[in-house]
Homo-oligomer: A and B are copies of this chain.
């Protein structure tokens, strides 16, 4: 059960790393012989009720609420109807496990799991309390209804899957999760798709960028929480401190507007103009997944300046392509990036601090080569195989515990 459709383009609207996570994990689990049905709310009239996206993986649309125009903020109102539709869809098939992703789906799945006596496994992906402790300037906090919903899901789930030890610790300390129910499974990256390929020069030819430029890229949804403004302001600092770098510098901001906030891209473009760095910052719409590796490969550095991140798939994808990552030292990014080995972690969001790290890396090509090798090595530890195997182990554990319970009661 997932609230955004895995059929949507990632990097736009509400579709991001989680959608990729659900699709990849499902396909890998199916390859291991497990039948996976992904339930989601219909957001597209053109799609059939049931779509087989890969052998053993079906996406099933629940016809609840208006097809288009429902923002993530409006979804909670649809939860009771989604639960009812989800339960209807489940009664004719015997499912062993319900696995919900993100709190909205967790709330949808909770009563269904209880009514049908199916164990519930939940993955948070992001948490309101963590996010609200790390807001970008001017960003609206997540509402209390979400915090309450998350708390309920934490209490109801048979098992909680955290992406990292840090996220597991937050579940225990901020949501009073019982430590025994919290298990850690790292997300993965598709190591067949995200590879160093033909290298930087070849990739630059493909995407049409000069081979001698310094290229820094941001990839993700354009929202304050992802921190694109931090990068833009750091670039302004950089060209003011090191004007000699300006002629060779290109900064790509790749991604679409997010959720309700359609004006953020325009605001950032205006900011760029106002800072006088239009010549070095380029905005691009989200790139289809098959073209993304070339953009990572073409970049000298990929920046992930998020305010919080339960994992940060972009960081892993870039590293798998051999590109060092500069990321904020928060949450899952600390696991996704090996500080000083596969990239550099920066404390906080001060543009001067970011610019000094970027300048140093641009001026040290040898260090970038070392980091690039470290990046490939580090990313190689995160395959979806391991994620799927870890997830199946947890299903197994939950089912065994249920069987034990039943035996003790019987």
Whether A329 is near chain B, meaning CB under 8 Å from some CB there, is yes
**Stretch of A115-123, A164-172, A256-264 on the interface side:** A164-172
Bound Cα distance from A375 to B203, whole angstroms: 35
Cβ of A129 to closest chain B Cβ, rounded Å: 12
Bound Cα distance from A1 to B238, whole angstroms: 34
Whether A114 is near chain B, meaning CB under 8 Å from some CB there, is no
Residue of B nearest to A334 (CB): B339
Chain B residues whose CB sits within 8 angstroms of the CB of A166 once the complex forms: 329, 339, 345-347
Chain B residues whose CB sits within 8 angstroms of the CB of A179 once the complex forms: 241-242, 355-356, 359-360
**Which A332-381 residues have C-beta < 8 A from chain B?**
334-335, 338-341, 344-348, 350, 352-357, 359-360, 381
Q: Is the CB of B164 within 8 A of A340?
A: yes
Whether A173 is near chain B, meaning CB under 8 Å from some CB there, is yes
Chain B residues whose CB sits within 8 angstroms of the CB of A360 once the complex forms: 165, 168, 179, 182, 184
Whether A196 is near chain B, meaning CB under 8 Å from some CB there, is no
Which one, B170, B184, B348, contacts A353 given CB within 8 A?
Answer: B170
Cβ of A128 to closest chain B Cβ, rounded Å: 16
Cβ of A317 to closest chain B Cβ, rounded Å: 18
Q: Is the CB of B241 within 8 A of A353?
A: no
Q: Is the CB of B334 within 8 A of A329?
A: yes
Q: Is the CB of B335 within 8 A of A170?
A: no
Q: Add 4 more A-B contacts to A165-B345, A166-B339 (CB < 8 A).
A: A166-B329, A169-B346, A182-B360, A334-B339
